[in-house]
Amino acid sequence: MPGAFWCIVEDDRKGFPKKVTAEVIGEAIRLAGAAEALWVTDAATEEGLRELGAWGVTKIWLLQHPAFSPYQGEVWVPAVADLVAKESPKAIFAPVTARQREFVARLAARLGAGLAADTVGLALEDGRLTARRPVYAGKLLSKVTWAKPPWIATLRPNVFRPAEAQAGRTAAVERPAIATPEPRMKLAERREEVSTGLPELAEAETVISGGRGMKGPENYVILEELGRVIGAAVGASRAAVDAGWRPHRFQIGQTGRTISPKLYLGFGVSGAIQHLAGMRTSKVIVAVNKDPEAPIFKVADYGIVADLFEVVPALTEEFKRLLDKS
Amino acid sequence: MKILVAIKQVPDTATQMKIGPDGRSIDTTGITWIVSPYDEFAVEEALRIKEKRGQGEVVAVSLGPERVKEALRSCLAMGCDRAVHLNDPAWATADTLLTTHALAAVVKQEAPELVLCGRQAIDDDMGAVPAQLAELLGWPCACWIMEEAIDAEGKTVRAGRQVEGALEVFDLPLPAVLSAQKGLNEPRYPTLKGIMGAKKKEIREGKSADLGLAEASPALVLAGLEALPPRPPGRIIPGDVPTAVRELVRALREEAKAI
């Protein structure tokens, strides 16, 4: 429908939309009253399509072709840009993930449209979309608006309220004709990271972070054990990453990942300004540090001044007890 | 092989940011300016490619006001051969896409075989320039790369891009755009000889008219900067460890409803 709010589906590469997609749909429906989904994939599943319908989209634009996996901007962009030209959506929203981040940037360049990346707040003011996005790694917020539609934005995970699935809601599935260029990039290898069995840092609802106070790489096992009990991702401060204790992909802060979990627990993290920049939009912040003067206590909702090596095992036991009961 | 590296000058990560009196720009009083850290990885990688191949040219490019020359000078001190400074008041309100159009015009002039960028600049954190540059040029790109290797003929680059839970390694035909993630390399410090030599290297100025760019208004409009909403005051939970831990778990469960 011309003027529609489109939500780009992020999937698990197995044919199911991820939870971040529900967040994007929830926000689009809150703003516009209705939303449509756009799913670029090599293999959608019937359950996946049903799930999108249950989340409340009225229509699903399904662009399905083997060439769409693995993601390549040069293959996705022409297909989607053609559809945008035909259908004139007013807004195009996507969650912040590795491929969507790159894809919408390329799409915006193709369309000559404005892009607000990594937004944490969206509003319609006099019928025009405005966005708030952290800048200087979260030290300030920038308020932006668009000169013309389509309004293209990516939404930071865990910030927007997800659409809830309601049985009985269904969406019409449209399968437009697609022309795909020959991919020029060839996948040589996909190297899976050694899985910790814990959630991905950027999307996790609960994040545990270990800083210089962890004293060494071997001690992160106690954080991982706590992570398994409460379903949390485990990250690290720059000091710990620069010391070689954790790989770079686990770094939280201005030169790492910027995260907004519902609960952040920092152990032995001093709270250098560049670390705070990466996590201060977390909803609830807990800090455990031996040093009562550590700057992290200034942003913490709850602090314990104690040795983390005593607190972490006790906390793990207490959570186990609690979660076993419920 | 000719390599172009796009860099941005940004405030140092330890800077406390203040909003300026216009409500739209930052107060730059006392700010220490640095080359954005991810861009340093890009510069380092370009220099390593040149050194490995034993020949080539590395050109650093940046858009911004006069002070940006210092950042370009740092790149020259690291070892870049020359620099292009896009310095024109016409770009004062440029958004990401207008900036990218200017960079793309320089790429067309310089005709490098590879463009390297940082994954994002740590000031506006938009992270869109590498992908948009590739789109405007019609080139393939790989973003957030952790490793790269160019074949002996200089026709293909094999690059590993970081995605959730994996590294996807692709062969890209050159020319291509790559954006650097932390972990790609450890940037070198400029040597004294490098710093002295940088003073003699060329920084060419580029104006909007030289690039043949039509006057255009930004697609994304800055309405203003805002301070973060203050966090509600927290509390230190007293008592010995077992008591404090029990109270913390109770508070997270009952007050914060976070577990």
Pair B206, B235 in one domain: no
Looking at this protein, which amino acid is placed at residue B170? F
Q: Which of B111, B103, B81, B90 is nearest to B203 (CA)?
A: B81
Pair B201, B155 in one domain: yes
Pair B124, B151 in one domain: yes
For A186-230, the pLDDT digits (tens) are: 999 999 988 778 998 988 999 999 999 999 999 999 999 999 999
Distance in Å, alpha carbon of A168 to nearest chain B alpha carbon: 30
Residue B144 zone, left/alpha/beta (φ > 0; ψ -120 to 50; rest): left
Looking at this protein, which amino acid is placed at residue B238? P
Q: How many domains does chain B have?
A: 2
Domain boundaries, chain A: 5-174, 201-325
Pair B197, B241 in one domain: no
Peptide bond into B175 cis (omega under 30): yes
For B89-141, the pLDDT digits (tens) are: 999 989 999 999 999 999 999 999 999 999 999 999 999 999 999 999 999 99
Closest Cα in chain B to A191: B167
Peptide bond into A70 cis (omega under 30): yes
B117 to chain A, any CB pair closer than 8 A? The answer is no
Pair B157, B64 in one domain: yes
Pair B187, B256 in one domain: no
What domain range includes position B194? 2-211
CA geometry: angle A118, B126, A297, nearest 5 deg:
60
The size of the A-B interface in CB pairs under 8 A is 262
Mean pLDDT of chain B: 96
Distances (CA, A) of A165 to A17, A37, A50, B185: 12, 15, 10, 45
Residues in A 132-171 with any Cβ partner in B closer than 8 A: 132-148
CATH number at residue B41: 3.40.50.620
Predicted complex ipTM: 0.95
- Check B131 against A200: CB less than 8 A apart: no
Q: Which of B195, B174, B189, B187 is nearest to B45 (CA)?
A: B187
- CATH entry, A201-325, from 2.60.40.10, 3.40.50.1220, 3.40.50.300, 3.30.390.50: 3.40.50.1220
Q: Which chain B residues are Cβ-neighbours of A73 within 8 angstroms?
A: 131, 134-135, 140-141
- Check B135 against A106: CB less than 8 A apart: yes
Closest Cα in chain B to A139: B17
Pair B115, B235 in one domain: no
Q: Helix, strand, or coil here: A128? A: strand
Residue B207 resides in a domain = yes
If one counts every other C-beta atom within 10 angstroms of the C-beta of residue A87, the result is: 19
Per DSSP, A306 falls in state: S
B16 to chain A, any CB pair closer than 8 A? The answer is yes
Q: How much of chain A is in helix, strand and coil states, percent to nearest 5?
A: 35, 30, 35
Strand B33-35 with B9-11, pairing: antiparallel
What is A5-174's CATH superfamily?
HUPs (3.40.50.620)
- A15 pLDDT above the threshold of 90: yes
- B230 pLDDT above the threshold of 70: yes
Pair B63, B145 in one domain: yes
Residue carrying structure tokens 């190297």: A191
- Smallest Cβ–Cβ distance between A98 and the set B164, B217, B245 belongs to B164
Q: Helix, strand, or coil here: A47? A: helix
B31 to chain A, any CB pair closer than 8 A? The answer is no
Q: CA A326 to CA A317: how far, in whole Å?
A: 15
Q: How confident is the model at residue A326 (pLDDT cuts 50, 70, 90)?
A: low
Distances (CA, A) of A224 to A177, A212, A326, B246: 47, 16, 22, 20
- Cβ atoms B142, B149 nearer than 8 A: no
For B36-46, the pLDDT digits (tens) are: 999 999 999 99
For A266-313, the pLDDT digits (tens) are: 999 999 988 998 998 899 999 999 999 999 999 999 999 999 999 999
Pair B206, B239 in one domain: no
Closest Cα in chain B to A74: B140
Strand A140-146 with B220-227, pairing: antiparallel
For the four alpha carbons of A168, A100, A28 and A32, in that order, the dihedral sign comes to negative
Strand A115-119 with B82-86, pairing: unpaired
